[in-house]
Each structure stands twice: as structure tokens, then as C-alpha cells.
Amino acid sequence: MRHFLILLSLFCLPHFSQAEAIDPDRLIRPDLLEQAIGALHTHAAHANSERLVVVDYSLHSSKKRLFIVNLDTGHVSAFRTTHGRGSDADHDGYLDTFSDTPGSGASPQGAFLTAEEYHGRHGRSLRLDGLDETNANARRRAIVIHAADYAEPGMIDTYGRLGRSLGCIAFSRADLDTFMTLVPQGTLIYVGR
């Protein structure tokens, strides 16, 4: 990959035009970004070199915590997303634990590659292939990306947090459409905390 050494300096503070103020919702934690870049380097032979997606589950579900990094321009887009109910026993909007155990309802961590799009129970969806021991069951568990009513902004207005998935990365319908437009097949997604 051509950007590894400059990514850390460029993407810790995303590019903004002079007219834009620095948007704290588009900042990626440097330590998590470093882990994501390491995963991208490890899986460079299989990963698309145009985008990198970083999910920061240390942030509350009411915050934008999924970041799409354009590896050519440095532009960062940020979105709200859910985590698994098995990862948040208190239902307080914070992910407490990761798990890849089938039936856990928890979010798995580590590096994934986006795979094929399909239409399922939640409509338009995107399969994920787990690349690490911590998410090797992603296909078997049907850990995918999809839209859900419990990921709509109104959930935050009503409950102060998004709802929870069974481990999937769920978006609002509008954000899913944008995500699918911005992220090509084979993009590396790094999920951490």
C-alpha cells in the first residue's frame, strides 16, 4: 500500500478546506487508526486500496463512530452505527465486550473485508468476511451491514442512544445508502475500541 507512512499524520486530523472548521465528529483516535492501518498492511493483498473503514466502539452509540477514509484524498466521512446487544448488557449505549461466539448477540472485533451485496430480512445488506481469529465466525453468524429502524436518528431523540443489533453494523436507511455508495467491495473494515 502506498499510504502507510503518511496516513498517520494525514488522517489523525482529516483534511478540511480553509472554509471548514475542524469537525470533532470526523476525528479518528490515533491509536485505533494505527491498528487499522496495521490491519490494512497485513491484508493489503486482498483489500481494496481506495478506502479504509474504522469503527470506534469506545464511543457512545449516539455519536458518529464509523469513519470512512478516502485513501487518495484523506477525506473522512463519519456515521452513527449500532453494536450488538450481547456487547452491551446494561443497554447504556456503550459497547462493553466483544465476542465472536455464535449466539452471543455480541459485536466481533478485528479486520473484515466487505463482500457481496444482497437483499435479506433488513433489505439491502452487505456481507462481511472476518479476517482475524476474533471474527472468524462472521459469515456463520451472519454479521453483516444493513439498515434498521433501531438505527434511525429518532432513536437518539427518544432514548438518547441507538438500539442494538445481534452483532451487525446497522445504519439508518439514508446512511446505509451513502455507505454503499462510498465503500467498494473488498474494503477493509477495522472494528476496535
Backbone angle region of 112, left / alpha / beta, with phi > 0 → left and psi within -120 to 50 → alpha: beta
Is 130 strand, coil or helix? Answer: strand
Report mean pLDDT in 10-residue bins for the chain, 193 residues: 42 44 73 97 95 98 98 96 96 97 98 96 96 98 98 97 98 97 97 97
Identify the burial level of 17 via C-beta atoms within 10 angstroms of its C-beta, where 0-12 means exposed, 13-18 middle and 19 or more buried: exposed
At 24 the pLDDT is 61
Is the four-CA dihedral 143, 144, 148, 151 of positive or negative sign?
positive
Looking at residue 130, its pLDDT comes to 98
Q: Going from the N-terminus, what domains does the chain have, and what CATH number goes with each?
A: 4-192 (2.40.440.10)
Residue in the structure block whose three cell numbers are 456503550 = 94
Residue 139, pLDDT score: 97
Three-class SS of residue 103? coil
Cα–Cα distance between 117 and 120 in angstroms, integer?
10
Question: 113 near 138, Cβ under 8 Å?
Answer: no
d(CA 29, CA 120): 33
> Backbone dihedral region of 142: left (phi > 0), alpha (psi from -120 to 50 degrees) or beta?
left
Distance CA 33, CA 52 (A): 10
pLDDT the model gives residue 23: 60
Predicted confidence at residue 92, as pLDDT, reads: 96
Rounded to whole angstroms, the Cα distance separating 148 from 136 reads 24
- Structure confidence at residue 64 (pLDDT): 98
Instruction: Give first-to-last CA distance, the chain, whole Å.
Output: 24
